[in-house]
Amino acid sequence: MSEVALLQIIGLCVVGIGLLILLFIKGMFLRVVGFVAMVLGTFSLIALGVPQMASLPPAIETFDLAEVKSPSDLAAIGQKIFFSKGQCALCHSIGPSESSRCPDLNGIGAKLAPEFLYESLTQPQAYIYLDFRHDTQPEEYPARMPHINKDPIGLTKPEIYSVIAFLQKMSGEPISIKVEDIMEPQEEKTEAVEVALIADAVSKNSVSAESSVAP
pLDDT of residue 180: 77
In this predicted structure, the answer to whether residue 11 has a pLDDT above a threshold of 80 is: yes
pLDDT of residue 89: 86
**Whole-number CA gyration radius for the chain:** 30
In this predicted structure, the answer to whether residue 40 has a pLDDT above a threshold of 60 is: yes
CATH architecture observed for domain 65-182 = Orthogonal Bundle (1.10)
In this predicted structure, the answer to whether residue 156 has a pLDDT above a threshold of 70 is: yes
pLDDT of residue 36: 92
Looking at this protein, which amino acid is placed at residue 206? S
In this predicted structure, the answer to whether residue 166 has a pLDDT above a threshold of 70 is: yes
Give the model confidence (pLDDT) of 182-199 as tens digits.
765 544 444 444 545 555
Give the model confidence (pLDDT) of 87-142 as tens digits.
888 888 888 877 777 888 888 888 888 998 999 899 887 776 655 555 556 566 66
pLDDT of residue 184: 56
pTM over 0.85: no
pLDDT of residue 192: 44
In the chain, pLDDT over 90 holds for what percent of residues?
Answer: 14
Ranges of each domain in the chain: 3-49, 65-182
Residues 13-39 have a mean pLDDT of 91
pLDDT of residue 87: 86
